[in-house]
Amino acid sequence: MPEITYREALNQALAEEMERDDSVFIVGEEVAQYQGAYKVTQGLLQKFGPERVIDAPISESGFTGLGVGAAMVGLRPIVEVMTFNFSLVAFDQIINNAAKMRHMSGGQLKVPMVIRGPNGSAHQLAATHSQSLESFYSHVPGLKVVMPGTPKDAKGLLKSAIRDDNPVIFMESEVIYGMKGEVPEGEYTIPIGKTDVKRQGKDVTIVAYARMLGVALNAAEILAKDGIQAEIVDPMTIRPLDDEPILESVKKTNRCVVITEAWPFAGVGSEIAFRVSSKAFDYLDAPVELVSSEDVPMPYSKTLEHNVLPTPEKIVNAAMRVLYNSKDPGKSED
């Protein structure tokens, strides 16, 4: 399979779905003339024209509302937010309109739209531009929340999101837009709501998604040097969450570490940790560890930013804690 960047995988998905379905269009700030703030929409204006690749004014509430209305009358809008920090301006449109309309109409109205863009921190963008907001949206019935961590998953899941008849919050990461990975040639999709095991292991389960998947895989390499085989489980879809593969992995390893770039309180990582603790309690040989960002606004300082975010070293330390605290009498408790 050819290797392409995360950005190119998204671009391919957009182009293929727009080619396949004339009802698909893109709207957002700088998506057309500028070719996208992060060049995800590069070349689409030239291929599909200004009626389907639409530059919007700086009004997230306005063009997100436009997307909701367009979806209700049968189109399939893709709303790009330059960053999910800016989606907060459109919170009412997303939460009270997009998420609720199918339920409130008794199924008579569908809202087949995708709201996509980068989520989480980048490099020194400080407190108001470095927030991981997935727990905000995954809290709401009526929304699907997708957070792929590889180019292959990004393409397959975006194609599925565009075809879905429900509003999908599709969260990317500015930091991994340039990351390369193998992507199959030809048509393929990845179902929304399926968890994937990215690395087989027997000693500890590490659950990580989106940008944190790569950080967790790096930690697994460090652990492997000490003979510890970590199994890396990637939910990919946050809502609906497929927890069965996570639980099956924990039943095998008897230990679990959950990684999230978001804050610890009331977050997706906390939800996953709760499910593991409640549904696989009898299989756990140590308490579930949560490795998250520190519970503070993101500082601007490069050094402080690094200290706030999860790192491979923090994950390795958490894995060592669940191994060290093992109830297995064959393991040292010293």
The Cα 168–Cα 146 span in angstroms is: 7
Of residues 90, 149, 140, 85, the one with CA closest to residue 117:
85
CB-based contact 25:162 (threshold 8 Å): no
The Cα 37–Cα 113 span in angstroms is: 20
- Measured in degrees and rounded to the nearest 5, phi and psi for residue 97 equal -115, -65
The Cα 128–Cα 26 span in angstroms is: 26
The Cα 264–Cα 282 span in angstroms is: 24
Q: H or E stretch including 118? A: strand 114-118
Question: What are the DSSP calls for 253-315, one per residue?
Answer: HS-EEEE-SS-STT-HHHHHHHHHHHHSGGG-SSPPEEE---SSPPPSSHHHHHHHS--HHHH
Catalytic site residue 60? yes
Pairing of strands 24-28, 53-55: parallel
Identified catalytic residue from 8, 17, 60, 80: 60
Task: Mention every residue, 6+ apart, whose C-beta is less than 8 A from residue 268.
Answer: 134, 135, 138, 209, 238, 260, 262
The Cα 64–Cα 143 span in angstroms is: 14
Identified catalytic residue from 16, 30, 129, 294: 129
Q: Tell me the two tokens of residue 275.
A: 């499910």
The Cα 126–Cα 131 span in angstroms is: 9
Catalytic site residue 139? no
Q: Which residue numbers are catalytic? A: 60, 129
